[in-house]
Chain A
């Protein structure tokens, strides 16, 4: 039996295939306003990888109810199990997605003990960074190189719309664009560290950082400074939700 974990997120749709308990394949496509289409694209690829083997589908994320699945689990629970797979024994997770930010505490076996979600406001999400980079005329993909030697400028507004106005006025004041970019990372990390503190975490305990923004080493570093703890990432961090979904399926549907 194969297990497909599918995470339908606001910005990207992720899918993984587990065969014989091993991660066999993974796909990521932009959701691009068409979650159903993105899910189908990912499923087509993964089904091809599964070949003739029978499979179970477990869905999570915002679009989790868009397709018929064997099991539907929220992204909180899936990120907990996914984090455990990527970093066994980890107790804290920060997931920064396209339109929300989750902070989760775990029992050391991937089970959720407490969580907080910011899902009402773009501030503190990947979108915030994306919008600010756009305002600076840069692609989010070059973020790390762009801020490599920067000194952060203080950004005061946390609302994405107001922060954009603030960035524009900083540009017109002649502040270096890379300094402004690093300033926005500082601002978002500060906000997220507040949300993280609500978990009342053990000081200095390692945090696993997942979601799209975790690809940025520069941001991981800023985040680590703000939460006062080592921040770990993983090449598969973006797949944490999908991996968790498959892991739960392997346990519950077996």
Chain B
């Protein structure tokens, strides 16, 4: 898709963006480009790139196919898992359709078991993610999973993945992360330069552009343009500054962003997967062992599926200071056990150590709770302004 740089039209039309993304991936396939589909930011894209393939994020953020998924999966399961499975099963996700290989991961129990059904109709490979950061064995195991995945890619696509290629991919991905950071850190400007919806649209939309060099270039151009306009005096009104954290956000759950911004707040920061969680920390380019470098990076994504989850608190702490955050909204998907159970720890940490207001907001992919979300979010914003 075309990354428009005219503000505020950047990624204004998500449905169009998605459609263009589909066309882009179709083009890639027609040119014989191998495609790997993934669901999670724990996936080491560097290895996929080193293998000459393109990695794409698969559909998981709309309620369109949840009913279909519930024919096979329990109703009281997280909507992200149901949507992932439903889109795949109904063949309604073109990215899934065009993926030669789908790579899942054992982040949470629901996903782990869901992939067992998915592999019945699609070549699906599972990376086994250890659930502890406290044991050296966990890290060693994750390193061995990096190597097993590399070997799988080599065998599946009939390619050789050398350490030099991985090193090259690490540098490219780091450049992309840096360009993303430079963009979303515009949220640190106070008064704001961009609304949270705009920041999110750019970040979300950048996933649907498959030429890394082009993404980097477009992000850099957009960032420069925003900065120039800001320097020229263009800025938004000051409002309570909200950081959003929690489960993956996007698609249907953008209703939470809208609720915050339509009721008098501005989302300045996202700690969630699509934005800072997996982008903030770079891969160490000086580490001679490339697998170790990837292990260290991908072990430290602050997801609630790993215990301890101190990286989440550390990132939240830094972001709250850097973005001058007034309040935190923890958006948790219904039946997302890891994030819902972890929420009390986050609340305690924020209230007691960061002395910052916190709100827990549980939701799903339906639109049934929009008024309740509006009321809660508005009450939270009123509380910040009192």
**Contact pattern, A 76-116, Cβ under 8 Å of B = 1, otherwise 0:** 11000000000000000000000000000000000111110
Residue of A nearest to B344 (CB): A198
**Contact pattern, B 348-386, Cβ under 8 Å of A = 1, otherwise 0:** 000000000100000000000101100110110011001
Residue of A nearest to B372 (CB): A119
The answer for the CA separation of A76 and B374 in the assembled complex, in Å, is 12
Q: Is the CB of B372 within 8 A of A111?
A: no
The answer for the CA separation of A189 and B269 in the assembled complex, in Å, is 39
Q: Is the CB of B369 within 8 A of A112?
A: no
Q: Is the CB of B375 within 8 A of A75?
A: yes
- On chain A, the residues within 8 Å of B386 by CB distance are 77, 111-112
- Size of the B side of the interface (Cβ < 8 Å), in residues, is 11
Chain A, range 41-70, C-beta contacts under 8 Å to B: 62
The answer for the CA separation of A140 and B378 in the assembled complex, in Å, is 33
Set A62, A73, A114, A117: member contacting B382, Cβ < 8 A: A73
A24 contacts the other chain (Cβ, under 8 Å)? no
A120 contacts the other chain (Cβ, under 8 Å)? yes
- On chain B, the residues within 8 Å of A74 by CB distance are 375, 378-379, 382
Residue of B nearest to A116 (CB): B360
Overall SS of chain A's interface: mixed
- Size of the A side of the interface (Cβ < 8 Å), in residues, is 14
Q: Is the CB of B376 within 8 A of A117?
A: yes
The answer for the CA separation of A217 and B375 in the assembled complex, in Å, is 30
The answer for the CA separation of A119 and B376 in the assembled complex, in Å, is 10
- On chain A, the residues within 8 Å of B357 by CB distance are 113-114
Residue of A nearest to B385 (CB): A77
- On chain B, the residues within 8 Å of A73 by CB distance are 382
Set B371, B375, B379: member contacting A112, Cβ < 8 A: B379
The answer for the CA separation of A77 and B371 in the assembled complex, in Å, is 16
- On chain A, the residues within 8 Å of B378 by CB distance are 74
Residue of A nearest to B377 (CB): A74
- On chain A, the residues within 8 Å of B369 by CB distance are 120
- On chain B, the residues within 8 Å of A113 by CB distance are 357, 383
How far in angstroms is the closest Cβ of chain A from B372?
5
- On chain B, the residues within 8 Å of A76 by CB distance are 375-376, 379, 382-383
Overall SS of chain B's interface: helix
How far in angstroms is the closest Cβ of chain A from B366?
11
Q: Is the CB of B372 within 8 A of A117?
A: yes
Q: Is the CB of B372 within 8 A of A77?
A: no
Q: Is the CB of B375 within 8 A of A115?
A: no
Q: Is the CB of B375 within 8 A of A117?
A: yes
- On chain B, the residues within 8 Å of A115 by CB distance are 379, 383
Q: Is the CB of A112 within 8 A of B372?
A: no
- On chain B, the residues within 8 Å of A75 by CB distance are 375, 379
Most chain A beta-carbon neighbours within 10 Å: one of B357, B371, B382: B382
Most chain A beta-carbon neighbours within 10 Å: one of B371, B376, B379, B386: B379
Residue of A nearest to B368 (CB): A120
How far in angstroms is the closest Cβ of chain B from A78?
9
How far in angstroms is the closest Cβ of chain A from B202?
31
Residue of B nearest to A112 (CB): B383
Residue of A nearest to B362 (CB): A120
The answer for the CA separation of A114 and B379 in the assembled complex, in Å, is 10
How far in angstroms is the closest Cβ of chain B from A3?
18
- On chain A, the residues within 8 Å of B382 by CB distance are 73-74, 76-77, 112
- On chain A, the residues within 8 Å of B379 by CB distance are 74-77, 112, 115
Residue of A nearest to B381 (CB): A74
Residue of A nearest to B334 (CB): A120
The answer for the CA separation of A112 and B327 in the assembled complex, in Å, is 13
Q: Is the CB of B375 within 8 A of A111?
A: no
The answer for the CA separation of A33 and B375 in the assembled complex, in Å, is 20
The answer for the CA separation of A102 and B378 in the assembled complex, in Å, is 15
The answer for the CA separation of A76 and B371 in the assembled complex, in Å, is 14
- On chain B, the residues within 8 Å of A77 by CB distance are 379, 382-383, 386
Q: Is the CB of B383 within 8 A of A119?
A: no
How far in angstroms is the closest Cβ of chain A from B7?
31
- On chain B, the residues within 8 Å of A112 by CB distance are 379, 382-383, 386
The answer for the CA separation of A130 and B378 in the assembled complex, in Å, is 29
Residue of B nearest to A100 (CB): B372
Most chain B beta-carbon neighbours within 10 Å: one of A62, A74, A75, A115: A74
How far in angstroms is the closest Cβ of chain A from B87?
26
How far in angstroms is the closest Cβ of chain B from A56?
18
The answer for the CA separation of A117 and B372 in the assembled complex, in Å, is 9
- On chain A, the residues within 8 Å of B371 by CB distance are 62
Q: Is the CB of B375 within 8 A of A120?
A: no
Residue of B nearest to A107 (CB): B386
How far in angstroms is the closest Cβ of chain A from B171?
46
The answer for the CA separation of A117 and B357 in the assembled complex, in Å, is 16
How far in angstroms is the closest Cβ of chain B from A187?
22
The answer for the CA separation of A62 and B357 in the assembled complex, in Å, is 24
- On chain B, the residues within 8 Å of A62 by CB distance are 371
With A77-B386, A117-B375 given, name 10 new contacts (CB 8 A): A74-B382, A75-B375, A76-B375, A76-B376, A76-B382, A77-B382, A112-B383, A113-B383, A115-B383, A120-B372
Q: Which 4 A-B pairs have the closest CB atoms?
A: A76-B379, A74-B379, A77-B382, A111-B386
Query: Which of B's residues lie within 8 Å of A, judged by CB?
Result: 357, 369, 371-372, 375-376, 378-379, 382-383, 386
CB-defined A-B contacts under 8 Å, sample of 19: A74-B378, A74-B379, A74-B382, A75-B375, A75-B379, A76-B375, A76-B376, A76-B382, A76-B383, A77-B382, A77-B383, A77-B386, A112-B386, A113-B357, A113-B383, A114-B357, A115-B379, A119-B372, A120-B372
